[in-house]
Chain A
Amino acid sequence: GENVEQHPSTLSVQEGDSAVIKCTYSDSASNYFPWYKQELGKRPQLIIDIRSNVGEKKDQRIAVTLNKTAKHFSLHITETQPEDSAVYFCALEGGGKLIFGQGTELSVKP
C-alpha cells in the first residue's frame, strides 16, 4: 500500500530561524497533501494543504512545496516562534483516506 516517509523525526531550532520538514511518497495517484500541527493531547489541526495542480502554496509564515515528479513535498516555517513547538504530520490522500507520515517533533527555543 501507499507509504509516506517523514523526516526528520525531531527538529530543534532557535527562535527566528526557519524549519523545514520533508515527506516522500510512492503512489503517484495522490492529489491532496495536507499538513497538520498537533499539540500534546489535542486534535490535529490543518495548517496548510496543497493539491497536485500547484507546486507551491504560502500562508503567512508557512509554505508548502510539492514536487510530483520526485514524489516529495515539504513544509517550510519561517521566523519560527516558541508557539510553533508541536508535532507536525504530513499526509496524503490515497484510496479515499488519509495516510499520515510518522511525525516531526519541532522544538523552537527562545
Chain B
Amino acid sequence: GAVVSQHPSWVICKSGTSVKIECRSLDFQATTMFWYRQFPKQSLMLMATSNEGSKATYEQGVEKDKFLINHASLTLSTLTVTSAHPEDSSFYICSALQGGSSSYNEQFFGPGTRLTVL
C-alpha cells in the first residue's frame, strides 16, 4: 500500500526559531501533497496544496511567508514554520495524492508532527 512518512514525529522549539517538517511518499510518486494543521479536539484544516516543481497554493488566512512549503521532488515536500510562536503549537499532518487517474484519488496521510513552541 501507499505509505507516507513524516519527520520528525514531534519537536519542541523556542519561540522565534524555525522548524522544518519533512513529508515523504515512500513507494509512489506524489504529484500533489497537502499540509494540514489540527488543533486539539478540532478538525483538520488545510493550510496549503503543494505541487511538485511549482509554488504552493495557500488557503485563505494562512501566511505564506510564515509557513514555507517546498515540493522539490515527486516524493518530498517540506513545511518550514518560521519565527515560531506558542500559538503555532499544533499537530501538522501531510498527505499525498497519487496522480494518474481522471477520478479523484485517495489521499494518503502521514503520521503527523507534534510541534510545541515554548
Indicate whether A97 sits within 8 Å of B34 (C-beta atoms), given known contacts A32-B103, A44-B44, A49-B106.
yes
Q: For the complex, is B42 an interface residue (Cβ under 8 Å from A)? A: yes
We find that the number of chain B residues with CB closer than 8 angstroms to chain A is 20
Q: For the complex, is B67 an interface residue (Cβ under 8 Å from A)? A: no
Indicate if the CB atoms of B42 and A34 lie closer than 8 Å.
Answer: no
For the complex, what is the distance from the CA of A102 to the CA of B3, rounded to whole Å?
Answer: 26
Q: For the complex, is A110 an interface residue (Cβ under 8 Å from B)? A: no
Q: Tell me the dominant secondary structure on chain A's binding face.
A: strand
Contacts of B111 in A (CB 8 A): 42-43
For the complex, what is the distance from the CA of A98 to the CA of B91, rounded to whole Å?
Answer: 18
Q: For the complex, is B49 an interface residue (Cβ under 8 Å from A)? A: yes
Indicate if the CB atoms of A43 and B43 lie closer than 8 Å.
Answer: no
Contacts of B109 in A (CB 8 A): 43-45
Q: Tell me the dominant secondary structure on chain B's binding face.
A: strand
Q: For the complex, is B114 an interface residue (Cβ under 8 Å from A)? A: yes
For the complex, what is the distance from the CA of A51 to the CA of B46, rounded to whole Å?
Answer: 22
Q: For the complex, is B30 an interface residue (Cβ under 8 Å from A)? A: no
Interface string of B59-91 (1 = CB under 8 A from A): 000000000000000000000000000000001
Name 25 A/B residue pairs within 8 A (Cβ), A-sorted.
Answer: A31-B104, A32-B104, A41-B112, A41-B114, A42-B112, A43-B110, A43-B112, A44-B109, A45-B109, A46-B106, A89-B43, A89-B44, A93-B104, A96-B49, A96-B104, A97-B34, A98-B46, A98-B95, A98-B107, A100-B43, A100-B44, A100-B45, A101-B43, A102-B42, A102-B43
Chain B residues with CB under 8 Å of chain A are 32, 34, 42-46, 49, 91, 93, 95, 103-104, 106-107, 109-112, 114
